Amino acid sequence: MISFVWAEAKNHVIGVDGHLPWTLPNDMKRFKDVTMNHPIVMGRKTFESFPNGPLPKRLNIVISRNPDYQVPESVVLITDKSQLKEFVQPDDEVMVIGGAGIFDLFKDDVDRLYVTKIDHEFSGDVKMTKLDYDQFKLTEKKEGIVDDKNIYPYTFETYQRI
């Protein structure tokens, strides 16, 4: 099964200058909880945005068109989404974590969406790909806690393909 995990602003922005446009530690925690122990699939730029290298306790699968792109030994490099099945089990929940082109690449395959909707507009250079929400039903919705470290209103939503 394929799931998407991401956070998007009110104006659909997801990235700026190779990083996230916001600081929202509660969303980082949610991301960690949702992806922990699952394979994660990401574009080369998202992989390079991690300050401390591959994310631990998750098989990190990076997509690049460059077959010679160098990744650490623990990381899997693929150049086409058809290679994914060689590295994941049929019963895995495979977490596609972006960026935009990678969400677009998997949008017909995705079964579940974990989205953090941030009720604030941000400037950015990457926007979420358009998804057809008519094909999904909302199964969970939780207001995020706003405090001095999480200053923007946000909601965690989960959708399942109908």
Ligand X SMILES: NC(=O)c1ccc[n+]([C@@H]2O[C@H](COP(=O)([O-])OP(=O)(O)OC[C@H]3O[C@@H](n4cnc5c(N)ncnc54)[C@H](OP(=O)(O)O)[C@@H]3O)[C@@H](O)[C@H]2O)c1
> Which residue, 121 or 162, is less far from ligand X as judged by CB?
121
Helices (H), 20-147: 25-35, 44-48, 100-106
Encode burial over 130-151: b for 16+ CB neighbours within 10 A, e otherwise.
Answer: ebeeeebeeeeeeebeeeeebe
> Which residues are CB-neighbours of 30 under 8 A, at least 6 positions away?
114, 116, 156
Q: How far is the CB of 62 from ligand X (least distance, A)?
A: 8
69 near ligand X (CB under 6 A): yes
Tell me: does residue 97 bind ligand X (CB under 6 A). yes
| Helices within 77-150 (DSSP H only) | 100-106
Q: Is residue 19 involved in binding ligand X (CB under 6 A)?
A: yes
Count of residues interacting with ligand X (CB under 6 A): 29
95 makes contact with ligand X (CB under 6 A): no
**CB of 57: closest distance to ligand X in angstroms?**
19
Which residues bind to ligand X, rule: CB under 6 A?
Answer: 6-7, 14-16, 18-20, 42-46, 49, 63-66, 69, 79-80, 97-102, 105, 126
